[in-house]
């Protein structure tokens, strides 16, 4: 629960943004804020924040990533996951004024989705991450295949 709800009991839009961030972090890590590991001042946000962005594999649910032979796809999935975690961390900023608006969150998520989908064709079996972000009805060019023939 965010501090504003505990102190004043006042429901606010910024409090809802905080709650959204917690839910997002829960989905990406498969950890609840009440997990037994969170003791002595450690909480979900601090745990995730301490690993971002260089050690995100230590906290993220790695089943969200595709297992492929292409490093470019795995890197793209990991970058997408890092971006989503950053949105969750922004939403859970301790200061309500430091949190984005819901419109700002929507814009960030749309940019992450566009970036994720713009560099690859949607595979026959979509990754869990693609399901999380949503699907698209347009056909994307597979840029990765074109790049692999041009790199030496």
Residue 125 pLDDT greater than 50, yes or no: no
Residue 68 pLDDT greater than 70, yes or no: no
**Is 120 in contact with 73 (CB distance < 8 Å)?**
yes
Sorted by where each begins, the domain ranges of the chain are 3-150
**Is 82 in contact with 53 (CB distance < 8 Å)?**
yes
Query: How does residue 11 score in pLDDT terms, banded at 50, 70 and 90?
Result: confident
pLDDT at 4: 58
Q: How many CB atoms lie within 10 A of CB 6?
A: 8
- Reference 61, options 132, 119, 113, 124; nearest CA is 132
Q: Which fold would CATH assign to domain 3-150? A: Transferase(Phosphotransferase); domain 1 (1.10.510)
Residue 9 pLDDT greater than 90, yes or no: no
pLDDT at 146: 34
Q: What is the CA radius of gyration of the chain?
A: 17
Query: How does residue 152 score in pLDDT terms, banded at 50, 70 and 90?
Result: very low
Which residues make Cβ contacts (< 8 Å) with residue 143, sequence separation at least 6? 118, 119, 120
Q: What is the pTM of this model?
A: 0.71
**Of residues 77 and 144, more confidently modeled:** 77
């Amino acid at each position: 629960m965010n501090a504003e709800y505990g102190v004043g009991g006042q429901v606010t839009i910024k409090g809802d943004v905080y709650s959204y961030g917690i839910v997002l972090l829960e989905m990406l890590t498969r950890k609840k804020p009440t997990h037994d590991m969170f003791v002595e001042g450690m909480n979900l946000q601090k745990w995730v924040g301490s690993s971002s962005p260089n050690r995100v594999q230590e906290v993220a649910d790695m089943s969200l990533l595709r297992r492929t032979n292409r490093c470019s796809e795995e890197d793209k999935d990991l970058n997408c996951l890092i971006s989503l975690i950053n949105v969750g961390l922004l939403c859970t900023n301790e200061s309500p004024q430091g949190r984005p608006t819901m419109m700002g969150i929507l814009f960030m998520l749309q940019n992450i989705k566009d970036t994720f989908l713009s560099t690859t064709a949607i595979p026959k079996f979509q990754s869990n991450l693609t399901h999380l972000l949503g699907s698209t009805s347009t056909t994307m060019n597979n840029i990765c295949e074109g790049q692999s023939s041009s790199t030496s």
